[in-house]
Amino acid sequence: MTPHNNIEFTIITGLSGAGKSHAMAAFEDAGYFCIDNLPPRMIQAAADLFSLEGSKVERVAVASDVRGGQYFDELDQCLTELDDKGIPYLLLYLEASDEALMRRFKETRRPHPLANGRTLLEGIQQEKEMLKKLKERADWVIDTTSSNIHQLRANIVSKIAPGGKTELIVTLISFGFKYGTPLDADLVFDLRFLPNPQYDPQMKPLSGMDKAVSKYVIESAPGKEFFQKLEDMFDFLLPLYQAEGKSSLVIGVGCTGGRHRSVAAAEYLAVRLRDNKGKYSVTTRHRDIGK
């Protein structure tokens, strides 16, 4: 079998509590197809599958660790078989000091997978011994002792994402306050101060998707000033969210019924954000437009 020339196959392993779940999240946000807690004997099958001609998956990350129990012992052999087959891969190993790992397990109150019948420290030390050979084989070792989850993510993104940044996905949701605010919104803006097309007999049956309504809302005196200030705020905020490692941002814009002003605003802002040199992936959702 000829491997897919463009496939990027990453295997994540390391000590329990060192941050593998956060590392997986960083890979997923960067567009990788991710599989967590995969038994080693299935890693080669996954690599073969994604290497097939016609596969549309080009970036894969799998995590395998002692949660796999007795099957985890096969990981070293699995890596050798991948080498023999000529399937390229990156082995990422995460570690931390005994003190840091003990603190994290105590904070989360989760048992260490090898601490059954042993103290927490004994479980950590046994795992280190079990993974000693894997650490020696690793292409990339990250010590998370002094890192928080944001720093770990930034470290990974700087290596795997083009330009060192993941694309920020911005979702603009229009809604009506009479139906409640969106539960998933990170930011919410109240547009009920803008002129309301609902009171114009010609525009009442229309929606914010129509040009007449959009012009009425956006080009009104308060609308012009408000949207200029809002764009300035987005220019300031969104790069900071992106630098912090945020992968998605949901912005709610609401009016009374969610049919006119909020819809027009969401569509207008989406166009403005899409024009921002491709920095963001922007979608709109009009929750209450048909109510």
The verdict on 104 and 124 lying in the same domain is yes
Residue that terminates a domain, selected from 110, 135, 164: 164
State the Cα–Cα distance between residues 30 and 33, nearest whole angstrom.
9
How much is the pLDDT for 160? 78
Q: Single out the residue of 37, 136, 60, 40 nearest to residue 95, CA to CA.
A: 136
First CA to last CA distance, the chain = 55
The verdict on 21 and 154 lying in the same domain is yes
How much is the pLDDT for 1? 41
Instruction: Provide DSSP, the chain.
Output: -PPPTT-EEEEEEE-TTSSHHHHHHHHHHTT-EEE-S--HHHHHHHHHHHHSTT----EEEEE--GGGGGGGGGHHHHHHHHHHHT---EEEEEE--HHHHHHHHHHHTPPPTT-TTS-HHHHHHHHHHHTHHHHHH-SEEEE-TT--HHHHHHHHHHHHSGGG-PPEEEEEEEEEGGG---TT-SEEEE-TTS--GGGSTTTTTS-TTSHHHHHHHHTSHHHHHHHHHHHHHHHHHHHHHHHHT--EEEEEEEESSSSSHHHHHHHHHHHHHHTTTT-EEEEEEETTTT-
How much is the pLDDT for 155? 82
Per the domain annotation, does 56 fall within a domain?
yes
Residue that is written with structure tokens 């904070």 in the block:
107
- Write out the chain's pLDDT in tens, 291 residues: 444 446 789 999 999 999 999 999 989 888 899 999 888 888 888 888 887 777 788 889 999 988 766 657 788 888 988 888 888 899 999 999 999 999 999 888 888 888 788 899 999 999 999 899 999 999 999 999 988 887 888 788 777 765 555 668 899 999 999 999 999 899 999 999 999 999 999 999 999 999 999 999 999 999 999 999 999 999 999 998 887 777 789 999 999 999 999 999 999 999 999 987 667 889 999 999 998
Per the domain annotation, does 58 fall within a domain?
yes
The verdict on 88 and 223 lying in the same domain is no
Sheet hosting strand 280-286, strand order edge to edge: 187-190, 248-255, 168-176, 280-286
What is the span of the domain harbouring residue 269?
168-286
The verdict on 130 and 98 lying in the same domain is yes
Per the domain annotation, does 3 fall within a domain?
no
Per the domain annotation, does 156 fall within a domain?
yes
The verdict on 30 and 98 lying in the same domain is yes
How much is the pLDDT for 244? 74
The verdict on 158 and 181 lying in the same domain is no
How much is the pLDDT for 86? 82
Per the domain annotation, does 291 fall within a domain?
no
pTM as predicted: 0.61
Residue that terminates a domain, selected from 124, 141, 164: 164
The domain that holds 141 is classified in CATH as 3.40.50.300
How many domains does the chain contain in total? 2
How much is the pLDDT for 161? 66
